[in-house]
A and B are shown apart, each in its own frame.
Chain A
Amino acid sequence: MSAQVLLETRGLDIRFGGVVAADQVDVEIHEGRNLAIIGPNGAGKTTFLNICTGYTKPNAGSVHFCGREITRRSPRQITRLGVARAFQMPQLFAEHSALENLLIAASARDRRWAPFTRLGDVPERDEMMHLLELVDCAHVAERAVNELPEGQRKLIDIAIALALKPKLLLMDEPTSGVASSEKFGVMDILTRALAEAKVTSVFVEHDMGIVEKYADEVAVWASGAVQLRGTPAEILEHPDVIRDVIGEEV
């Protein structure tokens, strides 16, 4: 447990109207330990990711990434520091092909502003083709992303985040919208890609089977705060979790 702290939040607090989405949230995310966030809908899981990436500003509290305060920075600035994000609803460039989506991401990462180089000719092309192979989407590289099935769209969304070579990847329900028979396949592909890229990941997940198999640590969210934290074995056998979280899933 002595791994270096990548991201740390202290006393995060935010409410929307009467709903408490974050209430004194203190979380540490350690390098190399994949953290699963579980909990009922409306517990503030997505809000937590939004705050960590600067999309939502907290009323109080702070977020530090690699020792640097990022609390009120924009998603753009936080992304440039090495935090990438994948979304529950894939955020893709609908009029571009899968490969072009990744090439745009790679050009953004390398600040490739040259106005007369074709997107298809940028030097990152081979690297991005390899990334598409990693997420098992190389065969649809030239297809427009809005024609692809949801499972592939989610993988491409994650591949875009990986293309940025982040230190930390935050994923909001990577397997939602994926047929349950394919969930483990998708996660196998993902863990392989994450391991190769040496990225630490945080993922919000509802499927306890996935959590058990792929997380190093689990945090249980309820009413805008972390109620429990531990290894998957500890958490998934905890009576409160069985009653409140797993019970709901069944």
Chain B
Amino acid sequence: MNAQLFALAMFDGIAYAALVFMVAVGLTLIFGVLRILNVAHGSFYAIGAYTAASIGGAIFAAGFSPWLAFPLLFVAAALVGILLGGPIERLLLRRIYAKEDALQLLVTFAVFMILEDVQRLVWGVQPYFEATALQQLGNLEVLGVFYTKYQLIFLPIVAVIVLIGLRLFLRRTLSGKLILAVTEDRETATAMGIDADKVYLLTFIVGAALAGFGGALASATTSVVPGMGADMIVLSFAVVATAGLGQIEGAAVTALLIGLGRSFAVYLMPELEVLIPYLIMLLVLLVRPEGLFGAVRTRKI
């Protein structure tokens, strides 16, 4: 493997890790607070991508400035969070918090099935491709490799901002502190008068918006096709499980690990590309069942 291929693999891995992190961090945040693994999270990612690509396609065709592609990313994220995440938590998930784990998992699985067909109905099965944001930033040459600034600089910076922003939000703001309190000890937090309903709703909206944001960011780098949500939910679960459920910083490190593992596999062992994330997950879980950064919880008896 020469230096150029090495650089390419590195860049691919970092760009990909940034996208996966965006989805995984929302998944892990929701799990931390609601104790529900949201299988429909993959759909939020796909719908974010479809929203950005289709609105982008329409407004650029109508002659608006291509720089609008960037604010559009946030619009897509907000739409997914508020129009999808909000109602799903409020109308559906709220009714199942008391049910057994297996049924909670099935409910989000059912939402996932529904949203898969919603995507097909709204956007059809033809791929969408809308790379204005990517083209707008242009390329740069590093180590003899031409690479897009969007993937090499913009995506990683956005990921780091989200990571730091989320940290500050959770540690410094009132809403964030409430979320952390509920994550750490739901019963005590509720007993102290924290409105758990509000915290759940807020968390779910933020988590869904992050997935939508990840999808919107991804839409500039790849064609948006049916089935992308299914692949992403399993992959981001792999990241979240490898990191340890509920670990935000851990999800960032693991996303990078899995992103790089996958991109190096593309160049070295292409037939293993799909398998690498799962192999990493299986290996980590065999050694540390609670994940790289997770803590063992023993039940009090």
Contacts and interface: CB of A to CB of B under 8 A. Distances in A.
Nearest to B301: A87
Interface residues of A, number: 8
Interface SS of A by simple majority: loop
A59 interface: no
Contacts of A91: 301
A89 interface: yes
A124 B301 CA distance: 28
A191 interface: no
Interface in A83-106: 87-89, 91
A107 interface: no
A88 B299 CA distance: 13
Contacts, number: 9
Interface in A42-94: 46, 50, 55-56, 87-89, 91
Nearest to A46: B301
Nearest to A172: B301
A89 B298 CA distance: 15
Interface residues of B, number: 2
A89 B301 CA distance: 7
A46 B300 CA distance: 10
Contacts of B301: 46, 50, 55, 87-89, 91
Contacts of B298: 55-56
Contacts of A89: 301
Interface in B274-301: 298, 301
Nearest to A75: B301
A185 B298 CA distance: 34
Contacts of A46: 301
Nearest to A53: B301
Interface in B228-243: none
A205 to B, nearest CB: 17
B98 to A, nearest CB: 15
A18 to B, nearest CB: 17
Nearest to A49: B301
Contacts of A55: 298, 301
A50 B301 CA distance: 9
A88 B300 CA distance: 10
Contacts of A87: 301
A15 to B, nearest CB: 15
Interface string A174-193: 00000000000000000000
B251 to A, nearest CB: 26
Interface of B: 298, 301
Given A50-B301, A91-B301, 7 more contacts: A46-B301, A55-B298, A55-B301, A56-B298, A87-B301, A88-B301, A89-B301
What 4 pairs across the A-B complex have the smallest Cβ distances?
A87-B301, A55-B301, A91-B301, A89-B301
9 contacts: A46-B301, A50-B301, A55-B298, A55-B301, A56-B298, A87-B301, A88-B301, A89-B301, A91-B301
